[in-house]
């Protein structure tokens, strides 16, 4: 029994100690909180809301702005053709070297034409005989020995044979394949002795000086595109800047993509631009003489538009703005700012209205 009472007594004393310890700990916490509160009240009473936030800023200065549109496009040959034969036959001669330049009208390939030449000789012989008969009939008609109808028949025979000879000459000309324009010929797909048909591809011929640059711009920029406008572009694998001029604009907007197709011509004397290449194009749209530009980092999207923070009397103030063209670094402000305003460019997420700021002006 005594042991049980001793255990109860020990438990009671332990519980009483815990209660005492907890009360003292709470009093200490309240004392610290009161001191902090009093200190805060003292700071407020002194008028200091905390140290100013250090931020970067710029002074707005109007400057000339060139609105450039960057799009992608493709390099195309100025002229391009797949060489084929109009007639069937064995290839008797190949007169070009792969990958070289050829001039307009030069002979590229010849097809066996012996049967056509024989047909032509036969036709010419018949034409000569018919011509003799027509001349004789004409003399007889003048003497009244034959009727006009008989002479007309003789003349018709002659003209029919002349037409037949011309047709055979045309067929003979088709056995010689010539370059339709000056350009560079590609890899050939035939050899001497190949049986050529109208479906057989001989080679590709392209004219690449100048080259065409084909691209599309969004519909909203269609009204700013002018004939003769200059473009600049680069291609993959080369940092060299090329230039060209717009020479053709599609007559309407593509309903599927809502874009306007455009073509420009670019000189290519060194043949550095290859048809099919990908092009990154920059097109100058217009120039604004007194544009207000600020860094993209200064813009803060909000529910109803965009705002920026400006510094007034040492404090940050919200200003709603309307923006226009954006570049990689800057954005054009169309309303909401004026020359001389100090726009805060850093610390946007930490800024609040009327927050004290210390601005470090950054030179543009």
Name the residue ranges covered by the structural domains of the chain. 54-65+289-361, 70-78+203-288, 86-199
Determine the pLDDT at residue 18. Answer: 64
For residue 325, the model assigns a pLDDT of 78
**Are residues 215 and 262 in contact, defined by beta-carbon separation less than 8 angstroms?**
yes
**What's the pLDDT at 16?**
67
DSSP notation for 12-60: HHHHHHHHHHHHHHHHHHHHHHHHHHHHHHHHHHHT--SPPEEEEEEE-
3-state secondary structure of 244: strand
What's the pLDDT score for residue 19? 61
174 class by beta-carbon count within 10 Å (0-12 exposed, 13-18 middle, 19+ buried): middle
Q: How far is CA 347 from CA 5, 76, 310, in A?
A: 69, 48, 12
Give me the residue label for tokens 């005594």: 2
Are residues 260 and 225 in contact, defined by beta-carbon separation less than 8 angstroms? yes
Q: Considering the entire predicted model, what is its pTM? A: 0.61
Q: Which residue has the tokens 């100013």?
A: 52
What angle (nearest 5°) sits at the alpha carbon of residue 296, between those of residues 295 and 300? 120
User: pLDDT tens across 303-328, in order?
Assistant: 888 999 999 988 999 999 998 878 77
- pLDDT at residue 44, as a whole number: 37
At 8-30, the pLDDT tens digits run 666 667 666 666 666 665 555 44
Please state, in angstroms and rounded to a whole number, the distance separating the CA atoms of residues 175 and 162: 21
Which parts of the chain have pLDDT scores under 50? Answer: 29-48
Return left, alpha or beta for 50; rule: phi > 0 is left, psi -120 to 50 is alpha, else beta.
left
How many CA atoms, within 13 angstroms, populate the side-chain half-sphere of residue 57? 23
User: Residue 17: what pLDDT?
Assistant: 65
| Cβ-based neighbours of 238, under 8 Å, separated by 6 or more | 272
Task: Give the domain 70-78+203-288 fold.
Answer: Elongation Factor Tu (Ef-tu); domain 3 (2.40.30)
What Rg value do the Cα atoms of the chain yield, rounded? 45
Q: Do 54-65+289-361 and 70-78+203-288 agree at the fold level?
A: no
Output the average pLDDT for the chain.
86
Q: What is the pLDDT of residue 33?
A: 43
pLDDT in tens, 140-193: 988 888 889 999 999 999 999 999 999 999 999 999 999 999 999 999 999 999
What is the pLDDT at residue 50? 65
What local confidence, expressed as pLDDT, does residue 324 receive?
Answer: 81
Q: What is the largest CA-CA distance in the chain?
A: 175
Give me the CATH code for the 54-65+289-361 domain, please. Answer: 2.40.420.20
Distance linking the first and last C-alpha atoms of the chain: 92
């Amino acid at each position: 029994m005594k042991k049980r009472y001793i255990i109860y007594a020990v438990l009671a004393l332990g519980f009483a100690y815990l209660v005492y310890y907890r009360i003292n700990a709470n009093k200490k916490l309240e004392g610290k909180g009161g001191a902090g509160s009093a200190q805060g009240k003292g700071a407020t009473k002194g008028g200091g809301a905390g140290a100013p936030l250090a931020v970067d800023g710029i002074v707005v200065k109007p400057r000339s702005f060139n609105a450039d549109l960057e799009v992608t496009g493709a390099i195309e040959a100025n002229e391009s053709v797949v060489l084929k034969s109009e007639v069937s036959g064995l290839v008797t001669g190949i007169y070009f070297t792969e990958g070289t330049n050829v001039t307009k009208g030069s002979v590229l390939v010849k097809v066996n034409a012996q049967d056509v030449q024989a047909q032509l000789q036969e036709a010419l012989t018949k034409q000569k005989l018919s011509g003799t008969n027509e001349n004789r009939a004409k003399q007889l008609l003048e003497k009244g020995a034959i009727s006009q109808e008989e002479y007309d028949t003789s003349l018709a025979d002659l003209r029919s044979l002349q037409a037949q000879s011309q047709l055979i000459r045309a067929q003979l000309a088709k056995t010689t394949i010539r370059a339709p324009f000056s350009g560079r010929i590609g890899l050939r797909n035939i050899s001497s002795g190949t049986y050529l048909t109208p479906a057989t591809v001989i080679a590709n011929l392209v004219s690449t000086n100048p080259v065409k640059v084909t691209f599309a711009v969004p519909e909203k920029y269609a009204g700013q595109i002018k004939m003769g406008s200059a473009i600049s572009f680069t291609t993959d694998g080369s940092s060299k800047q090329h230039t060209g001029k717009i020479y053709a604009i599609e007559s309407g907007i593509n309903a599927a993509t809502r874009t306007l197709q455009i073509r420009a011509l670019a000189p290519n004397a060194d043949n550095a631009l290859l048809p099919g290449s990908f092009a990154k194009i920059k097109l100058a749209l217009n120039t604004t003489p007194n544009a207000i530009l600020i860094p993209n980092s200064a813009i803060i999207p909000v529910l109803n538009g965009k705002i920026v923070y400006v510094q007034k009397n040492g404090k940050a103030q919200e200003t709603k703005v309307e923006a226009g063209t954006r570049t990689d670094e800057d954005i054009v402000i169309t309303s909401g700012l004026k020359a001389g305003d100090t726009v805060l460019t850093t610390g946007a997420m930490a800024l609040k209205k009327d927050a004290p700021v210390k601005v470090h002006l950054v030179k543009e």
